Amino acid sequence: MSASQLKHELHQIIDGLSGKDLKKLKAIVDDYLSQDINKVMEKQVKYLNDYEASLTDEDRKEIEEAIEEGMEDIKAGRVYDATDVMKEMRKKYGSR
């Protein structure tokens, strides 16, 4: 992928973010560019902990059921090649 294509793809992703997510992304990028990987990881862990804390028991049950369903699909051979999935998504949603 060329730098131009990558910039275009990143722009599309960023353009679809909410204000709250844009602020999170900017903080992550700022930390990354400052080369303080520990700070980046701390923020990611905090984000994941905050997300996990926001889940209800019903959310957790749905996630566990979805994982179980996915594992059953894998065992039964109901899987798709990632390359084919990405091609289909690009056709459906654009060049991302």
Pick the residue with more confidence: 52 or 40?
52
Q: How far apart are CA 70 and CA 72, in angstroms?
A: 5
pLDDT of residue 96: 52
Q: How far apart are CA 13 and CA 8, in angstroms?
A: 9
pLDDT of residue 6: 87
51 alpha-carbon distance from chain centroid? 13
CA count, 13 A, side-chain hemisphere, 6: 3
pLDDT tens figures, 43-96: 889 999 999 999 999 999 999 999 999 999 999 999 988 888 888 888 888 765
Average pLDDT over residues 18-41: 83
pLDDT of residue 95: 67
pLDDT of residue 50: 93
